Amino acid sequence: MRHLPRLLLLSGCWLLLLSFLSPSFVQARSTCRAETAKITITLTGFTRPQTFLDLTPEVTGRCVEIRADVGDPVPDDTVFARIDSTFIALKLQTNALARARTEKSLAFEKKQVDRYRKLVTTKASAQTRLEELELQYEQTLLSLQELETEQEQLQETLARHTLHAPAGWLVIERQIEPGEWVRAGQPVARVGDYQNLVVPVVLRPEELHYLQSAETFSLSIVDSDIQGTGTLRRIAPNFDPVTRKTKADIALSDATLEKIPVKRGGLRVEIPVPLKDPMHAFLLPAEAVEERYEENWLTRENGETFRVIVLGPELSQAADNGKRLRIVSKEIKEGDRFRCRELSSTDVQLKP
């Protein structure tokens, strides 16, 4: 009985210790890993046709027909305009008559040559007369070949009185009207391939490196609220020596183009590009940072503590509502592990 007070005291201390060690009062500690911070910048550009084509006539004459106006597609037969070809057609008719006349003369002279060859064989005619006929036959044959070459030239000239453009391309500009006189070498219209759209951008070296390393990357067409993908299609070999930026074209994928109801130029496109944080910061959960005396501290796994600078919440697209912080310190390296305070069960219950 004399030991009863001591036993009661020990029991009370044991119960008190158990109460403090319960989950309601203990903040369990885990570790977290430092990751290199990244920021996401947004490139903005506007769509334009992948290819432009200026239509320029190769002959001079009067325009007699135009098949498409501004905004219209080029017809399936690829004919955009026609230039008056009346005089070329008349020259072709004259050439056809001259060829027919020459062919008849050639056939007659061929018979004459064959006849005199037989007479010379039987010594009924002089060899000189046969040679004259053979020379006349060869000259007539050359005349026929000249007329055939002239026919090809006239046909080629006739074809150039018709201006062609790729079928389905849209007319962007038109500088002529039916009945207007056009000159050879004078641009009369411009068409573009709006079935395939590209976005011209100007890139810094790190932005260009990211787009080159990615086979495809995500983008959004803001005006139509369309999410899609694109690829880097063309890169200019030169760059601006002042800004160190390079011009490039981003091509929209076929799947993205199918989502666009009306393909046209001027659609606003945004391309997110993740880059390394320019402040060389690292990412750690907010629970890893302890604030003491208006300063921020981190604690390594071995208990070592050091002061850090907190720049603010994560800036990349993957940011989780500010749960990770951008932290700067010379003591931190990629992959370092730190103690991370977990919320207690009581805190979890109180969390809204």
271 and 285 in one domain? no
Q: Are residue 272 and residue 302 in the same domain, yes or no?
A: no
Neighbouring CB atoms inside 10 A of 61's CB total 18
Kindly state whether residues 187 and 292 are assigned to the same domain: no
pLDDT tens string, the chain, 352 residues long: the values are 455 445 444 554 544 444 444 433 334 458 888 888 888 889 999 999 999 999 999 999 999 999 999 999 999 999 999 999 999 999 999 999 999 999 999 999 888 888 878 887 777 777 788 788 889 889 999 999 999 999 999 999 999 999 999 999 999 999 999 999 999 999 999 999 999 999 999 999 999 999 999 889 999 999 889 999 999 999 999 988 888 899 999 999 999 999 999 999 999 999 999 888 878 888 888 888 888 888 898 889 888 889 998 988 876 555 554 478 888 888 888 888 998 876 444 333 323 3
Give the CATH number for residue 260: 2.40.30.170
Report residue 254 as tokens. 């076929």
Put residue 133 in one of left, alpha, beta given phi > 0 → left and psi -120 to 50 → alpha. Answer: alpha
Cα torsion 262, 266, 267, 271 to 10°: value is 150
List CB contacts of 343: < 8 A, sequence separation 6 or more: 27, 287, 351
Residue 139 domain-assigned?
yes
Alpha-carbon separation of residue 100 from 15, 35, 97, 114, 133 (angstroms)? 126, 88, 5, 22, 20
272 with 283, same domain: the answer is no
The verdict on 63 and 184 lying in the same domain is yes
The DSSP letter of residue 223 is G
| Amino acid in position 118 | K
Torsion angles phi and psi, residue 85, rounded to 5: -120, 30
CATH number, position 302:
2.40.420
User: Largest Cα–Cα distance of the chain, in whole Å?
Assistant: 171
Residue recorded with tokens 């046209």 = 264
pLDDT score for 323: 79
Beta bridge partners of 313: 325
Within-domain flag for 70: yes
188 within domain boundaries? yes
* Same structural domain, 174 and 75: yes
As to burial, measured by CB atoms within 10 angstroms (0-12 exposed, 13-18 middle, 19+ buried), residue 282 is: buried
The pLDDT assigned to 344 comes to 44
CATH code (residue 166): 2.40.50.100
pLDDT of residue 72: 94
Decide if 20 is inside a domain: no
Whether 17 is covered by a domain: the verdict is no
- CATH code of residue 99: 1.10.287
Q: How many domains does the chain have?
A: 4
Within its chain, how far is the Cα of 50 from the centroid?
A: 7
DSSP for 236-287?
Answer: -S---TTT--EEEEEEEPHHHHHH-SS--TT-EEEEEEEEE-TT--EEEEGG
* pLDDT reported for residue 346: 36
- 6 lies in a domain? no
Same domain, 305 and 346: yes
Is residue 148 domain-shared with residue 101, that is, in the same domain?
yes
Domain range for residue 203? Answer: 42-51+195-276
Residue 4 lies in a domain: no
Based on the fold, state whether residues 290 and 174 are members of the same structural domain.
no
Residue 28, pLDDT score? 44
Rounded CA gap, 126 and 218, in Å?
Answer: 92
> Exposed/middle/buried for 18, CB within 10 Å: 0-12, 13-18, 19+?
exposed
